[in-house]
Copies of this chain bind each other. A is one copy, B any other.
Amino acid sequence: MSDIASEDMGPWLSPHDIEFIRRKAPMVYVTAVPVRVDTNGALEAIGTLLRANEGGKLVRELVSGRVFVQESLRAALIRHVERDLGAMAFPQLPASLTPFTVAEFFPLPEACGYYDPRQHAVSLCYIIPVSGECTPQRDVLELAWLTPQDLRDPDLLDEFVDGHAAIARQALAAAGVLR
């Protein structure tokens, strides 16, 4: 079993258990939109992760993952940022845990929200400035910083896994730099 799969399931859930829970209840997720900001705090670029998906196709993603039982949202955000960007990324979590958006993922493509074939997940989305050095971890092939202008390119937006392009653009909107 790959590192990804074991991480995704967490130390406390067997594949059987996670499958069972996914059929019965929505999963709590967090999504971090890593950003570079200027000295005044204004958003300059969004960090995106390039990975090969199970079919070998390159896909673009934000930092995202499950909240473990008895884990706080802050701890989950830091764990996922460090997992993907390394221990020197120095994420600056906001004082308020009100997310800029709540993304609903459903296993049926025709549902009202985003599509995740694995599960129903409710993901709380945060803009997280990172002031340190970000190094792609594990299966991340590349970390690419995209400007608000870059995020208008339809071809680039098509590279994102379902929902993440919309979340990235909603982050630009929340930061007042949607173009």
Contacts and interface: CB of A to CB of B under 8 A. Distances in A.
Number of copies: 4
Contacts of A59: none
A141 interface: no
A97 interface: yes
A107 B71 CA distance: 11
A98 B99 contact: yes
A24 B107 CA distance: 21
Size bin of chain A's contact surface? 35 or more
Contacts of A26: 28, 67-69, 71
Interface stretch (A36-44, A50-58, A132-140): A36-44
Interface of A: 12-13, 17, 20-21, 23-28, 35, 37, 40-43, 66-75, 78, 92-104, 106-108, 111-113, 120, 122, 124, 127, 129, 166, 169-170, 172-176, 178-179
30 contacts: A12-B24, A13-B24, A13-B25, A20-B20, A23-B69, A25-B27, A26-B71, A27-B28, A35-B95, A40-B74, A40-B93, A41-B92, A41-B93, A41-B95, A43-B95, A70-B106, A70-B111, A72-B112, A73-B122, A94-B94, A95-B175, A97-B101, A98-B100, A98-B101, A101-B173, A102-B176, A124-B124, A170-B176, A173-B178, A174-B174
